[in-house]
Amino acid sequence: MKEVVLITGANGTIAKELAKMIGKDYEIRFLTRKKTQNNQYEWNVKKQIIDESAFVNVSHIIHLAGANISEQRWTEERKKELISSRVDSANLLLTTLKKKNITLKSFITASGVNYYGTETTDKIFNENDKPGNDFLSEVVVLWEKAADEFKLQNLAERVVKLRTAVVLSEKEGALKKMVPTIKNYIGSPLGSGKQYMPWIHIKDICSIYEFALKNPNIDGAYNATSPQHTTNENFTKEIAQVLRKPLFMPNVPGFILKILFGKLASALLEGSRASSQKIQEAGFTFEFPDLKLALEDLLKK
């Protein structure tokens, strides 16, 4: 009998690709706001409503739910939503497990490399470093604190927190937004272009989730980011090279981005590096550690 893995954030690319990857070895269930398939179960985080039948014989939860950080301006209302979609959803899972007296083998949660703060420095952060002091790091700290409760309250044997970089996928996210501008000759680096842009191929982030799921020794926080570091300028140039398109436009001035995106602009104009040494020392091997090869795989299909 296959172990049951319950995945939140069912509509995201990671959830869909991960389900394909591990579907042969596990019974996959999804929590979603609107059920369209037999293995989907409905929940409503705002109303704290959940279909408890999703938890029957569940062994693992992979918590991927969370509102998109870069989708809207960071109004006070949006900030609350960004936190609630991560923290309140985790709390709903926790209270349901407690109510049903279920102990998981693992609770594996998405997290963010923004844990270390949004700033461009010479430092390469590792999992032992302290969190930053800006809004995004606050979001991640609260996110991880909610996850840690599963172990503290003996509702999961282990808790894995994957501090994820920008996920490269042709289906959604930063790459999907950048490619059309470069194809139409209006793409360019943002601000100085010198800000670091931690990244990871969609296949590698899904493989890390699978690795964490199948290896009981994996516990705690891990940076889920490619071992190769790059800047926003270099990232933009690499896309252009793979697409064989020239870059004509000057860098987008930072003040323009601040006018367009408000406080969200800080996430575009600043960025730090994070080390993936810990996950590699645990035995994980990246399929796409090189940016150019990753982009070629995604853009030349």
| Segment 199-233, tens digit of pLDDT | 999 999 999 999 999 999 999 999 999 999 999 99
Cα distance between residue 113 and residue 274, in whole Å: 7
Q: Give the pLDDT score at 1.
A: 86
Cα distance between residue 20 and residue 135, in whole Å: 34
pTM of the model: 0.95
Indicate the pLDDT class of residue 5, thresholds 50, 70 and 90. very high
CA angle 282, 13, 208 (to 5 degrees): 5
Tokens representing 224?
Answer: 């889920």
Q: Give the pLDDT score at 119.
A: 86
CA angle 111, 79, 144 (to 5 degrees): 25
- CA–CA distances in Å: residue 240 to residues 46, 196, 226, 245, 253: 42, 18, 20, 5, 20
Tell me the fold of 3-165+202-225+274-286: Rossmann fold (3.40.50)
Is 93's pLDDT higher than 90? Answer: yes
Indicate the pLDDT class of residue 70, thresholds 50, 70 and 90. confident
Is 172's pLDDT higher than 70? Answer: yes
